[in-house]
Structure formats: structure tokens, C-alpha cells
């Protein structure tokens, strides 16, 4: 099971991540958002062993396949994080600490109303302009010409990047699974390549304050179970109580939560536990989320809702 060593869990530590400690060396950092089965990362990591590579992906299947590839190839300069790349870029890196960011064939989400799902949506451009070093590179490969044109214009109009003309059917020395698929179907590929020329400032929502708990004197479980299905909203924060489970002795309750900060969604549990003469409301240690404003607020709000005082 040594192949599991590539998967790291930044939500369990302080942010931003100390990548020098993670890789046990000081080196340039490059990032791939949506690494799929890992073929691009394998090629890049082998070609540049002096560089540290970080990959973001949400698919468990992709995680397993990619890690087994890295282990088989004996690659040591890659680490993987299961997180939305838009969040990961902004929250896991210090300003001007990344050399290069790659995105290969992301879903263009071309239907009306799907814009918010695109990897390049919202403040993504500003996040890149914050974490990339001056002169750092961002490149995106897609088979969707309309999406390529949109990304090109977004970066060109941002003022933070110098954007090269879109390259059609550009060869990079390695082809991803999707690239091979599209080319075999006679479709074209489009590469957008940009260079950072100006720094941006972005707000990090998960930095600082790891401990999240509330102490209450007493509560009645009759106030807890009616919260199931209730949606709480405040500015950009929202959470919903999905389920509540109780222990047989009535001294431990597990509250299943789904929360969202803008478009960053997390699933986790809040523990309500009896102590000697008081109750603790805190995050359950079995599924640790990133400590975003919505997560912190959900703990405070649940404590407020069930407290008898």
C-alpha cells in the first residue's frame, strides 16, 4: 500500500501548506488541476525531477489509478490533494510560490447556467495572479474552441497576464487520454498559454484558526432533531442539516452537514458530546473539512440552536 503515500490531507494542518516540509526539500512547484489518470503528471515529473509537482483531482478512481502509476514508475516528486482546484490554488499556496499551472481538457460546461462549474470561473484568474511567481506560466488545453476563446479573452482582459495567441493542435511531447481520444476523432485541440505580469491580491477564507468548537451548558434533543432538512444562509455562507444520529446512552450526537462557501461545497459531521457538567459542539475528527467561514459558522449556529441558555 505504499502507493497511498502520494495523497496528502492539507485540511488537517495549517494553511498555507508548508510544501518544503511535505516534499522534504526546497524546489520549484508546478501544479496540475484535474490530473485524471495521471499520465501528464508522470511525464512531467520524470522529465523534471528537480521540480515538485502537486495535483488536484476530485475523482477517487482517478486518485487510485494515478497513485499506482507513480508508485510503479518510482516517482517521488509528486503529491496529490483531493480538492476543487479553484479552492486549492487559492488556499494551499503562499503568494508568488508556484512556477507553472496546467489544466488539461477540463469540462467546458457549455450549457446555459453551468458557468459557475468551470474551472476558470469567478476569481480564478486573480487567484493565479496571486500564487504564480512573476513571469509564472498558466496553460490550458481544450478541444472546445468557444471555451478556448472565452478563456483567452478572460486572461487578456484581466490585466494580470500576457497572453499568447491560441495554439491549434500544439504538440507538447505527451498526450493525455482525452487528447488522444479527440485527435482520433479528427477534432482539433487549442492551447492557451499565459505569463503573469502583474500581482493580484486575494482573500483566503481557510487560513488561520484550526480549532472549531463551542461549549454549552445543556440542551434538549427535542431542539436538535427538528433541524434535519433546515437550510441556514448568511451572506456567502450556507449549510443544511442532513441527518442526526444519537448514541444509545444519549450522550453523543452526530449531525451530518453539507456546507458551501460560494461554490466550494463540503460534507462533514458535527459532534455534540456530553462532558461532566456541560456539552461540547465541535467538528467530528473522522471527516475533517477545511475550516472555511461556512464550516465555522455551522458549528456556532448548531450550538446556538440547541442551547437551553
The phi and psi torsions of 139 (rounded to 5 degrees) equal: -140, 140
pLDDT tens, position by position, 73-129: 999 999 999 999 999 999 999 999 999 999 999 988 877 777 777 888 879 999 999
pLDDT tens for residues 140-151?
A: 999 999 999 999
Rounded average pLDDT over 231-258 = 96
DSSP state letter for 126: H
| Stretch (H or E) spanning 289 | none
179 CB contacts (<8 Å, ≥6 apart)? Answer: 104, 105, 141, 143, 189
The overall pTM is greater than 0.85? yes
- Specify whether the CB–CB gap between 137 and 278 falls below 8 A: no
- Of 120 and 9, more confident: 9
Buried b (16+ CB within 10 A) or exposed e, 57-96: beeeebbeebbebbbeeebbbbbbbbbbbbbbbbbbbebb
E strands, 173-287, where?
A: 190-196, 213-216, 231-234, 237-246, 252-261, 264-274, 279-283
Amino acid at each position: 500500500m505504499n502507493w497511498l503515500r502520494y495523497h496528502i490531507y492539507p485540511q488537517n494542518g495549517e494553511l498555507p501548506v508548508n510544501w518544503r516540509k511535505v516534499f522534504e526539500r526546497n524546489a520549484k512547484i508546478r501544479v496540475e488541476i484535474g490530473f485524471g489518470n495521471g499520465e501528464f503528471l508522470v511525464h512531467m515529473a520524470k522529465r523534471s525531477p528537480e521540480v515538485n509537482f502537486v495535483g488536484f483531482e476530485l475523482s477517487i478512481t482517478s486518485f487510485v489509478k494515478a497513485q499506482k502509476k507513480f508508485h510503479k514508475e518510482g516517482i517521488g516528486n509528486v503529491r496529490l490533494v483531493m480538492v476543487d482546484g479553484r479552492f486549492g490554488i487559492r488556499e494551499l499556496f503562499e503568494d508568488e510560490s508556484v512556477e507553472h499551472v496546467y489544466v488539461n481538457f477540463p469540462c467546458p460546461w457549455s450549457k446555459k447556467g453551468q458557468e459557475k462549474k468551470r474551472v476558470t470561473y469567478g476569481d480564478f484568474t486573480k487567484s493565479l495572479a496571486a500564487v504564480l511567481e512573476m513571469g509564472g506560466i498558466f496553460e490550458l488545453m481544450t478541444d472546445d474552441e468557444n471555451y478556448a476563446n472565452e478563456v483567452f479573452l478572460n486572461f487578456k482582459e484581466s490585466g494580470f497576464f500576457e497572453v499568447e495567441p491560441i495554439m491549434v493542435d500544439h504538440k507538447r511531447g505527451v498526450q493525455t487520454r482525452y487528447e488522444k481520444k479527440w485527435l482520433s476523432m479528427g477534432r482539433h485541440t487549442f492551447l492557451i498559454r499565459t505569463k503573469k505580469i502583474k500581482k493580484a491580491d486575494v482573500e483566503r477564507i481557510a487560513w488561520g484558526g484550526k480549532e472549531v468548537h463551542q461549549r454549552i451548558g445543556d440542551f434538549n434533543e427535542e431542539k436538535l432533531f427538528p433541524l434535519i432538512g433546515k437550510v441556514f444562509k448568511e451572506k456567502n455562507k450556507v449549510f443544511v442539516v442532513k441527518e442526526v444520529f444519537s448514541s444509545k446512552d444519549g450522550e453523543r450526537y452526530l449531525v451530518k452537514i453539507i456546507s458551501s462557501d460560494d461554490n466550494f461545497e463540503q460534507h462533514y459531521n458535527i459532534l455534540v458530546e456530553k462532558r461532566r457538567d456541560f456539552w461540547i459542539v465541535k467538528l467530528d475528527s473522522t471527516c475533517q473539512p477545511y475550516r472555511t467561514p461556512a464550516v465555522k459558522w455551522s458549528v456556532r449556529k448548531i450550538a446556538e440552536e440547541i442551547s437551553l441558555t
